[in-house]
Amino acid sequence: MAGVFSTTTLFNDSSRIPMLSGENYTEWKDKILLTLGCMDLDLALHENEPSIFTDSSLPNENVAYKRWERSNRLSLMLIKSHISQSIRGSIPDCDRVKAYMKAIDEQFVSSDKALASTFMKKLASMTLDKSRSVRKHIMEMRDIAAKLKSLKVEISESFLKHFILNSLPSEYTPFKISYNTHKEK
């Protein structure tokens, strides 16, 4: 039966949602939306609030309102329970889940821009040192590029290769020259 789930299902599904900490907003939002969708609780995110039922309302209008209200209430509870207290205090409280998610989005749009800027600076200033292998250095740079991609900042493979080559010390100059003069097929 759609919309009915056990406490065990609720706990298992919600335990996969990370606590929103600031740096994991995109992952957190994806998992919140997936969980609410799987639990059939995302109605209040996708539909406007129906008219409050009255004595003269039709039975199906009463059912629609109760379903929407349940979706809104449980969605808010689930979302708030997966936001750290320090962040929750900076988000204006709302009694409608759609408005609450919009407030969270607005809070993290500027945060995402700042985080992307930090990652770009780190990527541009990285240099290989003796503390790690070339492979680990390259993997770290690729990881930063993947984080930028998740923040909607695309770095082409060609551009990333140039960042990597420029991060290598002068002892790798013969390799850089060889790589730059090699024609790709």
In whole angstroms, give the CA distance from residue 136 to residue 140.
6
Q: Are 35 and 49 in contact (CB under 8 A)?
A: no
The span from the CA of 36 to the CA of 32, in Å, is 6
Which pTM value belongs to this model? 0.59
Which pLDDT does position 31 carry in this prediction? 94
**In this structure, is the dihedral angle defined by the CA atoms of residues 124, 130, 134 and 140, taken in order, positive or negative?**
negative
In this structure, which amino acid lies at residue 37? G
Q: What pLDDT score does 24 carry?
A: 82
Please tell me the predicted confidence (pLDDT) of residue 183: 67
Q: How many CB atoms lie within 10 A of CB 89?
A: 9
Would you report the helix, strand and coil content of the chain in percent, each value rounded to 5?
Answer: 65, 0, 35
Block means of pLDDT (10 residues each) for the chain, 185 residues, are 48 76 83 93 93 74 89 96 89 94 85 81 90 92 90 88 90 85 70
Confidence at residue 85, expressed as pLDDT on a 0 to 100 scale: 87
Phi and psi for 20 in degrees, rounded to 5?
-65, 120
Domain boundaries, the chain: 7-110, 126-181
pLDDT at 47: 94
Q: Are 167 and 137 in contact (CB under 8 A)?
A: yes
Rounded Cα distance between 100 and 77, Å, is: 11
